[in-house]
Amino acid sequence: MPAAPLIQPRTLKGFRDYLPETMIPRERLIDTAKQVYRSYGFSPIDTPALEYLEVLTGKGGDETDRQLYRFQDHGGREVGMRFDLTVPLARFVAQHVSELGTPFKRYQIAAVWRGENTQRGRYREFLQCDFDTIGTRGVASDIETVLVIHDLMRAIGFERFTIRINNRMVLNGLLERLGLGERATAILRALDKLSKIGPDKVAEEMMAAAGASAEQAADVLRLSALTGSKDQMLQQLEPLVAGSDIGQEGVARLSQILAGVRAAGVADEQLALDVAIARGLDYYTGAVFETFLEALPNIGSVCSGGRYDNLAGVYTRQDLPGIGASLGLDRLLAAMEELNMIGRVRTPADVLVVFFDAGHLNDYLRLAGQLRRAGLGVEVFPEAKKIGQQLKYADQRGFRVALIAGSREFQAGECQIKDLQSAQSETCSLANGAEAAIEAIRRLLGA
């Protein structure tokens, strides 16, 4: 019988596999994020990958709609794959709010899908890593959101980063005072380009697209020209929003955020006021945050978010204000790679038990069990092969220690613990089981 033709093994265009060397740091990052979220009382939730199409398109813009993976399911229902975690969160909270109660704090780390143009180097499947506090306008949650971002960045291993903070109410208050409240969107759209096109072009656009006067445009741009310390900047803001309740509240809340974040122990140099950032023009209504790495400012914000007035207005009449942020996992991993923060490791275990004497399999298994019960990660090579071949395997995977013993060693009641970085070996007695070996391995891993 001739062999059946093979199917070519390949991933779908726009999608990718995660091999161990990329998945290990990715999983570590996810674990770290979960730990930080949990330490603030955010609870995990999960929602389906598929939703009724009308649920997904209720709020998405036109571009999102075009990128949606949609089809009919087996029952003829129009369905789509989620393209973010915010729409499912809104649907989830609207559906379960009476059971959940408020305030409700959740995190969700899950894949989303967008049929994007892959020429921009983007993938059509990626993880989002969101946390939100729903059902409160308290400034305490604004402060806590900054604290979570801070603790996340530290826990991941970053020390030099800046969290840029603004409150949209400051901008809105200024525009109100200038009589530009109705044209806020066009003004903010122009202002958002400040770092790209500079103040002159922004002023031009404000005049052309939003009908602002030269003086009004200059007043708005004054926001981005504040100088001095954060406290001095806050003082300069006050006259700019004088007479606008919303603007004054915005400045007061900014001031409270700064004070609270400092009280909780965040170093002042990790915070910056940036009253020109607007983010998500139609969505955020209060505090907004962006986070930049000092070493790689050009990759953009690695953790962003803000406060919104009404999460779930398309699904419920209940008022659901909230605040949240999202960790840019892929961007952060790319940065960590560029900054050499990720070791080239393809195994989650540190110790390889070399299996070269077939008659001693049970001894290897016994030792490995003892090492594992002491909390060590241990792989036993599955076949009796030459030591050299197994050490090459250990080297390729990134094991740090090898345990080597053959008939001679077992007879003498000892084993070799080999440091795979220095290639130095140490003889350990097996008189007290694996105790001496465990101690030697711990010493090597601690070093």
Strand pairing class (78-81; 287-293): unpaired
CB of 264 to its own copies, least distance (A): 4
CB of 421 to its own copies, least distance (A): 18
The helix-helix angle for 184-191 and 214-222 (nearest 10°) equals 60
CA angle 166, 169, 172 (to 5 degrees): 115
Q: At which residue do the structure tokens 């308290």 appear?
A: 138
CB of 118 to its own copies, least distance (A): 10
User: Nearer Cβ to its own copies, position 292 or 399?
Assistant: 399
CB of 178 to its own copies, least distance (A): 26
CB of 423 to its own copies, least distance (A): 21
Q: What tokens does 358 get? A: 């077939």
User: Nearer Cβ to its own copies, position 143 or 251?
Assistant: 143
User: Nearer Cβ to its own copies, position 265 or 343?
Assistant: 265
DSSP assignment string, 373-392? HTT--EEE-SS---HHHHHH
Q: How far apart are CA 341 and CA 311, in angstroms?
A: 37
User: Nearer Cβ to its own copies, position 273 or 380?
Assistant: 380
Long-range contacts of 224-230 (CB under 8 A, 24+ apart): 224/191, 224/194, 224/199, 224/275, 224/276, 225/199, 226/273, 226/275, 230/258, 230/268, 230/271, 230/272, 230/273
User: Nearer Cβ to its own copies, position 47 or 162?
Assistant: 47
The region that residue 32 occupies, defined by phi over 0 for left and psi between -120 and 50 for alpha, beta otherwise, is alpha
User: Nearer Cβ to its own copies, position 24 or 276?
Assistant: 24
Judged by DSSP in three states, 190 sits in: helix
CB of 71 to its own copies, least distance (A): 3
User: Nearer Cβ to its own copies, position 382 or 446?
Assistant: 382
CB of 204 to its own copies, least distance (A): 34
